[in-house]
Chain A
Amino acid sequence: GQQLNQSPQSMFIQEGEDVSMNCTSSSIFNTWLWYKQDPGEGPVLLIALYKAGELTSNGRLTAQFGITRKDSFLNISASIPSDVGIYFCAGRGGNEKLTFGTGTRLTIIP
């Protein structure tokens, strides 16, 4: 099945640093979603974006829906230990199905 290109694949940062990750697609999406997945659990929704150009924040998280509708980025400011996990972008088209990105694994170095 199709997957979105998500980068970076992994990140090793120190606590307090800012994080940036992005997703690109060859297809246009109507909705972009960002999820976080902890080991052995299902993805948890972080931010949902519904309009091209939309910039939305959720606490220390900020995400944007690209103008071309083919990309999105997620920023995390002032990272903390509980930010560790795998972050997935997901795009939703007209058929309501979600296409997931390849994931970004975030590790915080003590």
Chain B
Amino acid sequence: GAVVSQHPSWVICKSGTSVKIECRSLDFQATTMFWYRQFPKQSLMLMATSNEGSKATYEQGVEKDKFLINHASLTLSTLTVTSAHPEDSSFYICSARVLTGHSNQPQHFGDGTRLSIL
């Protein structure tokens, strides 16, 4: 089945540090990947849609200069949290949809990255 790998799985760093999270589709190509944020005991909230070869589309209220997204290939998207602060501490999860001519393909999720800013 479709596998999405996310790295790292856990990051602890000091306030002001920039953190990069990678999302890879291991056995399929994905023109579109999605980045979500999940706070404790809450649901997943879409942050942005990552499009291969073009700019990401951000949801309302998500700062594009704070959360930099790069989707340079059909199998890799990266999310960089710039100058992270404690309020950015959260569980970040990416997903990807299999690229086919058929529109009915579900999103497959990575295992998430837990970001803790001290």
Q: Which residues of A contact B (CB under 8 A)?
A: 1, 3, 31, 33, 35, 40-45, 48, 50, 88, 96-103
Contact A96 B111 (CB under 8 A): no
Contacting A at CB under 8 A, from B63-118, are: 93, 95, 97, 104, 106-112, 114
Say which residue of B42, B46, B104 sits within 8 Å of A98 (CB atoms): B46
Contact B112 A88 (CB under 8 A): no
Contact B97 A43 (CB under 8 A): no
Nearest CB of chain A from residue B12's CB, rounded to whole Å: 14
Instruction: Give A100 to B112 CA distance when docked, in angstroms.
Output: 16
Q: Number of contacting residues on B, CB 8 A?
A: 25
Closest to A94 in B: B103
Tell me how many residue pairs across A and B have CB atoms closer than 8 Å: 54
Contact B43 A103 (CB under 8 A): yes
Say which residue of A42, A88, A99, A100 sits within 8 Å of B111 (CB atoms): A42
Contact A1 B109 (CB under 8 A): no
Contact B93 A42 (CB under 8 A): yes
- Given A42-B6, A50-B104, A103-B43, A1 and B111 contact (CB-CB distance below 8 Å): no
Contact A1 B59 (CB under 8 A): yes
Contact A41 B112 (CB under 8 A): yes
- Given A3-B43, A98-B46, A101-B43, A40 and B109 contact (CB-CB distance below 8 Å): no
